Amino acid sequence: MFKEILKVIKKYNTIVIARHIGGDIDAIGSQIGLKELLKENFPTKNIYAIGSYSSKFKFIGSLDKEEEINLDNSLLIVLDTPKVSRLDIEDLSKYSYKIKIDHHPLEEEFCDIELVDEKKSSTCEMIIELCDKLKLKMNKSAAEKLYMGIVSDTNRFLYPCTSSNTLKCVANIMDKYNIDISSLYEKMYMRNLDELKFMAYIFENIKVTKNKVAYIKVTDEIQKKYGMDAASTGNMVSELSYVKDFIVWITFSEDKKQNIVRVSLRSRGPAINSFAMKYNGGGHKLASGIRLSSFDLSDEIIDGLDKLCEEYLNDQK
């Protein structure tokens, strides 16, 4: 399949790289990393990375605008996106050929080539491997972006998706490109005191059900009080890992701009992605997301996950 991918890349002069809506560091990092490494190997091709993102991730690099690209006879490479409805592009039918590279559980086949590997920590890890297998050249700038994506999706090599392959990939590029991790971590993790106080608010106000489901509902008003937005509120979910009293933990964050409530789910017990799918969400087995139109369904979701945890706890006995 790797060879096939190279053949297709060689064939097309216009290559557009896309990813899921609400791009995170793995999604945007793999996009821009792949763009830069393809530019390095095929300098005469027109290569674009498209989609919108929050100013928070500007440090990864800038993105191109799909409407400014001539899409005649173009190749689309979709990264980090398991289904069409999550894709941050206008119209899939404008592209002549499509390749998907993703580490989410397979949900939907919508590309001509589908390179899907659930065992990989991140899409960035898959790009490093692809580059390696195809003997493509990389450069320092691309390597840094791919490194950040891996660090982000593994939560600094903390999550169980981290494998020996992940560490080998990271070790290889660190060696070859002399990556300065301190400067990257500063970009990724530097925060202000307000954020810390917001975290304290979450720790103080989180509730836990009988069967160890922790949850917090954060309204727009509270976010404003601490100078936060819905996306950064959702990211707080990773601060709640490794608490003995939680098996599943959830943040509900009101997003006034989009008129939705973002739900971020994490688990260290039962798989939660199929539960999320019932509400039109999805993701990984232990890390998923849902978008609701209001807080109305939040209690139903908490109850449903409490049942899931109850079964899980009974199975453990």
DSSP state, residue 218: E
In this structure, the number of other CB atoms found within 10 A of the CB of residue 173 comes to 23
Instruction: Confirm if 150 and 169 have CB atoms less than 8 A apart.
Output: yes
Choice from 19, 50, 74, 80 touching Mn ion (CB under 5 A): 80
Which C-beta is closer to Mn ion: that of 80 or that of 306? 80
Which C-beta is closer to Mn ion: that of 12 or that of 147? 147
* Burial class of 315 by CB neighbour count within 10 A (0 to 12, 13 to 18, 19+): exposed
Which C-beta is closer to Mn ion: that of 153 or that of 306? 153
Size of the site for Mn ion (CB under 5 A): 5
Which C-beta is closer to Mn ion: that of 81 or that of 209? 81
Q: CA–CA separation, 110 vs 98, rounded Å?
A: 8
88 binds Mn ion (CB under 5 A): no
What's the closest the beta carbon of residue 310 comes to Mn ion, in angstroms? Answer: 30
Which C-beta is closer to Mn ion: that of 153 or that of 255? 153
DSSP state, residue 110: -
CA-based diameter of the chain, in Å?
Answer: 62
Which C-beta is closer to Mn ion: that of 50 or that of 308? 50
Q: Which residue is nearest to Mn ion (CB)?
A: 26
Q: CA–CA separation, 271 vs 119, rounded Å?
A: 15
Which C-beta is closer to Mn ion: that of 122 or that of 267? 122
Beta strand 260-267 with 287-292 is antiparallel
Tokens 């098996």 identify what position? Answer: 247
Sequence-ordered list of residues with C-beta below 8 angstroms from that of 96, at least 6 positions apart, any chain: 12, 73, 74, 75
Stretch that binds Mn ion, among 89-97, 120-128, 167-175, 271-279 (CB under 5 A): 120-128
- Angle 68-73-74 (CA atoms, 0-180°, nearest 5)? 60
What's the closest the beta carbon of residue 79 comes to Mn ion, in angstroms? Answer: 8
Stretch that binds Mn ion, among 24-32, 161-169, 288-296, 297-305 (CB under 5 A): 24-32
In this structure, the number of other CB atoms found within 10 A of the CB of residue 153 comes to 27
What's the closest the beta carbon of residue 247 comes to Mn ion, in angstroms? Answer: 23
Stretch that binds Mn ion, among 3-11, 117-125, 212-220, 299-307 (CB under 5 A): 117-125
- Tokens coding 119: 């065992």
What's the closest the beta carbon of residue 166 comes to Mn ion, in angstroms? Answer: 12
Chain centroid to Cα 250, Å, comes to 17
Which C-beta is closer to Mn ion: that of 120 or that of 212? 120
What's the closest the beta carbon of residue 164 comes to Mn ion, in angstroms? Answer: 19
26 binds Mn ion (CB under 5 A): yes
125 binds Mn ion (CB under 5 A): no
Choice from 66, 107, 153, 255 touching Mn ion (CB under 5 A): 153
Stretch that binds Mn ion, among 23-31, 71-79, 137-145, 245-253 (CB under 5 A): 23-31
What's the closest the beta carbon of residue 122 comes to Mn ion, in angstroms? Answer: 5
Which C-beta is closer to Mn ion: that of 30 or that of 251? 30
The strand pairing partners of 97, in sequence order, are: 75
Tokens 């959702």 identify what position? Answer: 234
Q: Annotate 77-94 with DSSP letters as a single string.
A: EEES-SSGGGB-SS-GGG
What's the closest the beta carbon of residue 1 comes to Mn ion, in angstroms? Answer: 19
Q: CA–CA separation, 100 vs 102, rounded Å?
A: 6
Q: Name the residues that contact Mn ion, by CB under 5 A.
A: 26, 80, 122-123, 153
